Amino acid sequence: MTYSFHGQHLIAGARVDAAERFASAPATGPSRSFANGTPELVDRACVAAEEAFETFGHVERETRAQLLESIADRIEARAADLTEIAIQESGLPEARLVGERGRTTGQLRYFAALIRGNEYLDLRHDAALPDRQPQPRPELRMMQRPIGPVAVFGASNFPLAFSVAGGDTASALAAGCPVVVKGHPAHPGTSEIVAEAITEAVRAAGLPGGIFSLIHGESIEVGTALVQHPLIRAVGFTGSLRGGRALFDLCAARSDPIPFFGELGSVNPVFVLRDALRKRAQALGEGWAMSLTMGAGQFCTNPGVLVLPANAEGAEAFVSATVAALQGVSPQTMLTDGIADAFRAGSARLEALGAVLLSQQTDGRSAAPVLLRVTAEQILREPALQHEVFGPLGVIVDVADETEMLTLARNLEGQLTTTLQMEAGDMPLARRLLPILERKSGRVLANGWPTGVEVADAMVHGGPYPASTNFGATSVGGMAIRRFLRPVCYQNLPTGLLPAGLSHAPD
């Protein structure tokens, strides 16, 4: 590795050390020492972000677009060091991390292209009607404007694409909002290298250093101070239901409540319909097993629940194919020891609630697939059976008939995704399910698997609670930028006072 770690925070362009430090706990390789954050450092970063916003919130969009592209270039220039440290810290394979780095830089360039156009600004113009009776109408112009400093929490399962320079940071910077990142303690070395790339890009652009800060930290105290800081105007978070809900409640309890855009967990149910089961039982079992175990099941879109017509032709063939495919999957390293422990505890909890264990293998920080089976009656009686267990765990839910399948669908919690495995003969039931599923999830799929989230204009990565805390938002795709913008109406303002671009709003 050519990079030499300093283990310090990066606050408003400066390296800042701390008296207290913590040691990283990598899956492989050496442990390293990193500075621990404090509320005082959070305050320093937030004050710098607010000062920077006075400039950054009003610079030309082309300047922001070039900044995003410059960050992407600098991340790619550090590719070898990033891959090496990310493998050590996360235990993820090289191919996965190379792909994730491409996803990260691709998102940055995607938002650069987005803000070069006007569509995201939602420009509107109502011309003055001075002769209207009984009262004249003033001239009204509207556009979306940046909200101010944004707090971002790095995610454990995506050390690049949902972390320091991930989608939350990319969309906030694109909107014109400075960002203060709370780095995830599971991958502080990866976070440091990416933060250096961002800091270097900000400096090269001649922009205020307060546009970006990274604060390391293990303690809850740092995250609490960040979401409660009066200068922070919104929070982006990807993580556990418990941790996210605690931060969400803190945001709501502020004297000036702010939006908390949290992605908290989802089991992403798959509904297998009868014709699909009859025609594709073997392929469906193998496909589910592959999706369920991808990345050791550590994806927010992991399809953890599958609804099966128990008495239909092909049902037991499907189960046999799934079990056989899962038994052929070797144990995989999980992201942290804590996640591995929680995976085992979650498996045991579901079994204690009455789920029948079909397949299980676990060992230390490594985990192999777990497959359980319950009836619809059980899961309706005990909702905890549909709670997410983060990792390669699947639950088959047996339904007796279409009525029970529909009842189960109506009783689902909010999800990121729901999936229909169907053939042409299943269309009548699919038509009955769709109005239910679209109320339960942000994305509905047919004949696919939900792992993998495309960065595109039409993508929605969010859903009703507890999948996310704001069902009208997405953390992936073009609409993600809307989280960090708010509409402002300008009435009868002279053209010279209007923000750039608004004077050309359509009539």
Residues marked as catalytic: 263, 300
Which residue pairs from 3-7 have beta carbons closer than 8 angstroms and sit at least 24 positions apart in sequence? Answer: 3/78, 3/81, 3/85, 3/193, 5/32, 5/189, 5/192, 6/192, 7/32, 7/33, 7/34, 7/35, 7/188, 7/192, 7/216
Q: How far from 354 is each of 305, 308, 311, 384, CA to CA, in Å?
A: 15, 18, 20, 11
Any bridge partners for residue 398, and if so which?
Answer: 308, 375
At residue 9, the 3 state secondary structure works out as: strand
User: Which phi-psi region, left, alpha or beta, contains residue 129 (left: φ > 0; alpha: ψ -120 to 50)?
Assistant: beta
CA 215 to mean position of chain CA atoms: 20
Among candidate residues 30, 38, 147, the one with its CA nearest the CA of residue 84: 30
Q: Are 306 and 288 in contact (CB under 8 A)?
A: yes
Sequence-distant (6+) residues with CB within 8 A of 19 are: none
Buried b (16+ CB within 10 A) or exposed e, 170-190: bbbbbbbbbbbbbbbbbbbbb
Structure tokens at 90: 């996360």
Among candidate residues 487, 470, 493, 491, the one with its CA nearest the CA of residue 147: 487
Which residue pairs from 424-432 have beta carbons closer than 8 angstroms and sit at least 24 positions apart in sequence? Answer: 424/275, 425/274, 425/275, 426/273, 426/274, 426/275, 426/276, 429/273, 429/274, 429/402, 429/405, 430/273, 432/402, 432/406
SS3 percent helix, strand, coil of the chain, rounded to 5, is 45, 20, 35
* Max Cα-Cα span within the chain: 79
Among candidate residues 285, 288, 278, the one with its CA nearest the CA of residue 312: 278
Q: How far apart are alpha carbons 72 and 69 in whole angstroms? A: 5
∠ Cα 381 384 386 (to 5°): 95
Q: Are 464 and 473 in contact (CB under 8 A)?
A: no
- Which H/E stretch holds residue 163? none
Which residue stretches of 331-482 are H helix? Answer: 337-352, 376-381, 402-410, 427-440
Sequence-distant (6+) residues with CB within 8 A of 31 are: 23, 24, 25
